[in-house]
Amino acid sequence: MPAQSDQITAALAALPGSTPVSEVARRLLDLFTSGSIAPGTRLPAERQLATTLQVGRSAIREALAALEILGIVDVRPGSGTYLRGTASELLPQTLRWGLLIGERNTTELLELRAGLEVYVARLAAGRASTASLTKLRKHLSRMNDSIDDLTVFARADRDFHQTLAETAGNGTLIDLLHTARSLLRVYAERAVHDRAAAATALAEHEAVLLAIERGDEDGAASAMAAHMTTASARVSAS
């Protein structure tokens, strides 16, 4: 019985030389989600994949980078690229949104993320524990303390939203939000570009958390909707 990495090579057929990166990624993803490749399997080297698919190594490299962003594979410097064991079955659909985001897809992803974040806030208000509220308050405090250091501020902002999603307790929502945020990362990382924008974001997060602390589901959803409106506008304008 061939090794798993050899099985990957054997299962892939050559692609036309003009195939875009997204098609390479889709072919790999179809294989990885078929159930025939065990989680944790080390993928063949880039050169071998390029030879099998008859495409340039740059196409393989970019496709694997996209799949890493989506959480499908784990790239370990000095070791190789491995199939992760926690990839959501929903992730293949994200490739239909485009791995290289254009203006139209950015708008659609912003709308999707906004809707998901609003629902997460509603669920979190009804499910928050003392521990999760403490973590959210800690992230908010970090945002306040780093309002003049936008890199640290952005990291605390992301941690707040991640904890909020975990508090909602819905794995599917977490997967979808991870995908939307990853695809928007190149835009979102430069969305808060000055102290005034950071101060606005801080106040909006405070409103969300206050509603969650009250257990006010409608209030939390409303506060998050207001935040998503201004956040999406900042991303669109960046």
Q: Residue 198 pLDDT > 80, yes or no?
A: yes
Does 72 share its domain with 176? no
Contact 2, 11 (CB under 8 A): no
Cα–Cα distance, 174 to 88 (Å, whole number): 10
CA distance 27 to 166: 31
Residues 75 and 187 in one domain: no
Q: Which two tokens stand for residue 90?
A: 């929903």
pLDDT digits (tens, 9 = 90+) for 212-234: 999 999 999 999 999 999 988 88
Q: Which among 65, 70, 12, 63 has a CA at the least distance from the CA of 37?
A: 12
The CATH number that applies at residue 55 is 1.10.10.10
147 and 111 share one domain: yes
The predicted-structure confidence for 110-154, as pLDDT tens digits, reads as follows 898 999 999 999 999 999 999 999 999 999 999 999 999 998 998
Identify the three-state secondary structure at position 76.
strand
Q: Which domain holds residue 82?
A: 4-87
The answer to whether residues 110 and 61 belong to one domain is no
C-alpha distances in Å from residue 125, one per residue of 49, 115, 136, 148, 221? 47, 16, 12, 30, 9
- Greater confidence, 14 or 128? 128
pLDDT bin (cut points 50, 70, 90) of residue 75 is confident
Same domain, 135 and 21: no
Range with the lowest mean pLDDT among 58-72, 75-89, 99-113, 131-145?
99-113
How many structural domains compose the chain?
Answer: 2
Does residue 145 share a domain with residue 57?
no
Residue 177 has what pLDDT? 84
What CATH number is associated with residue 105?
1.20.120.530
CB atoms within 10 A of CB 18: 7
User: What is the maximum alpha-carbon separation in the chain?
Assistant: 61
Please indicate, yes or no, if residue 94 is contained in any of the structural domains.
no
Neighbouring CB atoms inside 10 A of 155's CB total 16
End-to-end CA distance of the chain: 52
My answer on whether 36 and 133 are in the same domain is no
Q: Using the 3D structure, point to which of 87, 117, 149 is the last residue of a domain.
A: 87
Residue at which a domain ends, from 87, 122, 151: 87
